[in-house]
Chain A
Amino acid sequence: MSHPAETLQLLAPDGRLVEDERTERYRPVVESLDESLLQRFHRTMSVIRAFDIEAGNLQRQGQLALWIPSLGQEAAQVGSGYAARAQDHIFPAYREHAVGHIRGLDVVQIIAMLRGLSHGGWVPEEVGNFHLYTLVIGSQTLHATGYAMGVQFDGLVGTGDAERDTAVLVYFGDGATSQGDVNEAFVFAQSYQTPQVFFLQNNHWAISVPVSVQSRTPLYRRPEGFGIPSIQLDGNDVLASYAVTRERLDAARAGEGPQFIEALTYRMGAHTTSDDPTKYRTADEVEHWRQRDPIARFETYLRGRGASEQFFADVAAEAADFAADARRRTLELTPPPAESMFAHVYSEPHPVMQAQAEWLRSYEASFEGEGA
């Protein structure tokens, strides 16, 4: 459960910068981060945590069918999310609420999915190229690879133009590494040298199955067998997540082929609100990770840099407002009309969709005037 020696860490759990030979190459990046970006890291982690807790509350109050908590994984997501450039494309799994928020997705659209009102439905190009959630584990890795093949065919790799060169960042979890599709994505990415970063959030649990059942080797060592450069980092260290993801995205955009990051983190909550983690893991283990909380660690760091009490109070207020606003707007969400289910099954007109939509309309119309 503790981090092995090979795990890259730029910010230690006590909030101090780690300064050794390994971290040296990342120091210029860390030093280049201005105070406002550092504060934004903290603000985003805090806001998303508040939102996440509120969404869980909404589920418990019967307002959502399900919630998928991301609590504890904020640093992995926020660091990597801010590392991507505007033109990059992001393929999430289904727990990357913070990344979506960073890219401009209204998180209430995630809520709408879990309230049973949509299957996603946002337009990736309108929300920072943040693609839809994919619930079948690992399927999105292949879409990301195919997308990255297209980026390469479009001539947007290795031109040296930082505003044009494009990479694809794909998220998945430790359970997904056992899926055939994920391994096929590694193969295809390597075959076509795609401009792509595989970002594994190893939160140690695939619902109830520990990562030790998924793999006998550290997961970051698997991509080496595919010929993909790989690194393991402390996923509760937002600076490491940011600096390494930025470096690897730069490499991918420059034409160095696919890259792999394993971020070691921990799912502090349940897999979803339907899960009961007390049945399969110990309170001691959870406590161990609570001591490594990503937000508390970064707060200590910022305080060490002189962030004011007022700043933290403002962030707390903003987080509370954000969560309250999400709650208010959640309660305003209403189901779409029934006939919408027929509308977009196909892009072009389809006789079966038309006939069944028409049948449903006339069936429902047959009840008009009855009862009331």
Chain B
Amino acid sequence: MTDTLGTSAAVGRAVDATGVEGATPAAATPASVITGGGVRTLPMAKALNAGLAAAMAADEKVVLLGEDIGPLGGVFRVTENLQRDFGPRRVLDTPLAESGIVGAAIGLAMRGYRPVVEIQFDGFIFPAFDQITTQLAKLTARHEGSLSLPVVIRVPYGGHIGAVEHHQESPEAYFAHTAGLRLVSPATPHDAYWMIQEAIASDDPVMFFEPKSRYWPKGEVNLDASGAPLHASRVVRTGTDVTVVGHGAMVSMLLDAAALAEEEGTSIEVLDLRSLSPIDYGPILDSVRRTGRLVVAQEAPGSVSIGSEIAATVSEKAFFSLEAPVIRVSGFDTPFPPAKLEGAYLPDVDRILDGVDRALSY
């Protein structure tokens, strides 16, 4: 829960800074785009900024489109200084129309560009839902493979930031249900750095879900890291009693839960999905075959969700290894509540540990 407070404070800072930064002439702003190599300690927002800069430097066909991503650097400052460094032709402040942004990005990709779209907030993606699901996702099949659409759609998502309606949602399941899209979500600054570059390098449309409550906590980023496979899940912490899996902001919470559980003598293995479509089941199944128990945690509502899919698949493929039913720990099947209720809505360490206890009770 300290994490929640910390990031809420960070949101306040970011919003407060808006006027100041907006008023500063871009040319006078000191360089803050991270360049060069080595290991740096960075928040995820900066790591993404560095990853975008690296991708843009490597390929002039990479262009960014979004609302307020130019001089302002995006409402989360992920694109800060990129327009200054790469010019207004590479970083486009678009009219305020999400379907227009994605539709135009599709056209640019048809022309050979690699557009990276920023959707300002999770809940604002739905005006673009049609272009994403009926056009972007299907055009490669409609062209019988002669057309690739290397479009990345960056979606800041998730709660724990105390924001107003439509600013804290986790809509990934809608898109995971749609063939033709790839979905990934980094949990750490380092993963954000290389995964955004791999997403841009992919010839397929990639929806890149950025856990916005993790934009500000810092972590080590190896700027020399070359890309790992974009769709590989990873074991973050080994354990023997229960497997817990999650993605995005949930991963650090799972680690906190595992640390607490260890004090009580329960050994939890933590997996970071990284990829939501396709889901990399190999490490999950390996883990479940050892522990016999699985808890899937997510901020999104539980019904018909990523967690549901994992529960179904693990039940099919590791049925005889399971000592307990797969437990889902998730947001409720309600609209995201007003911010003061988000603590009751979102899974936290205690709800995760409750799920672990339920799995262990069989």
Q: Are B142 and A188 in contact (CB under 8 A)?
A: no
Tally A residues with Cβ within 8 Å of B: 40
B145 contacts A by Cβ under 8 Å: yes
**Chain A min CB distance to B131 (Å):** 7
**Chain A min CB distance to B205 (Å):** 9
Give Cα A149–Cα B109 distance, bound, in whole angstroms: 11
Residues on the B chain within 8 Å of A184, using CB: 95, 97, 99-100, 103
Q: Assuming A136-B134, A136-B135, is B144 touching A187 (CB within 8 A)?
A: no
Residues on the A chain within 8 Å of B139, using CB: 132
Q: Are A120 and B142 in contact (CB under 8 A)?
A: yes
A212 contacts B by Cβ under 8 Å: no
Q: Are A344 and B145 in contact (CB under 8 A)?
A: yes
Q: Assuming A146-B111, A150-B107, A150-B112, is B143 touching A344 (CB within 8 A)?
A: yes
State the majority secondary structure of interface residues on A: helix
The 8 A CB mask of B65-104 against A (1 = contact, 0 = none) is 0000000000000000000000001001011010110111
B43 contacts A by Cβ under 8 Å: no
Give Cα A136–Cα B103 distance, bound, in whole angstroms: 13
Residue of B with least CB distance to A189 = B104
B266 contacts A by Cβ under 8 Å: no
- Size bin of chain B's contact surface: 35 or more
Residues on the B chain within 8 Å of A346, using CB: 140, 180, 182, 204
Q: Are A345 and B179 in contact (CB under 8 A)?
A: yes
8 Å CB contacts to B: which residues of A168-203?
180-181, 184-185, 187-188, 191-192
8 Å CB contacts to A: which residues of B138-163?
138-146, 148-149
Residues on the A chain within 8 Å of B108, using CB: 146-147, 149-150, 153
Residues on the B chain within 8 Å of A351, using CB: 231, 278
Give Cα A151–Cα B231 distance, bound, in whole angstroms: 33
8 Å CB contacts to A: which residues of B202-241?
202-204, 231
Q: Are B145 and A142 in contact (CB under 8 A)?
A: no
Give Cα A247–Cα B98 distance, bound, in whole angstroms: 32
A360 contacts B by Cβ under 8 Å: no
8 Å CB contacts to B: which residues of A38-52?
none
Residue of B with least CB distance to A125 = B146
B187 contacts A by Cβ under 8 Å: no
Q: Are A187 and B142 in contact (CB under 8 A)?
A: no
**Chain A min CB distance to B118 (Å):** 16
Q: Are A146 and B105 in contact (CB under 8 A)?
A: yes
8 Å CB contacts to B: which residues of A136-161?
136, 139, 141-151, 153-154
Q: Are A145 and B95 in contact (CB under 8 A)?
A: no
Q: Are B140 and A344 in contact (CB under 8 A)?
A: yes
**Chain A min CB distance to B280 (Å):** 8
Q: Are A154 and B111 in contact (CB under 8 A)?
A: yes
9 contacts between A and B (CB under 8 A): A123-B143, A131-B110, A139-B103, A145-B100, A145-B107, A146-B115, A184-B103, A344-B140, A351-B231
Residues of B within 8 A of A (CB): 63, 89, 92, 94-95, 97, 99-100, 102-113, 115, 127, 130-131, 134-135, 138-146, 148-149, 179-180, 182, 202-204, 231, 278
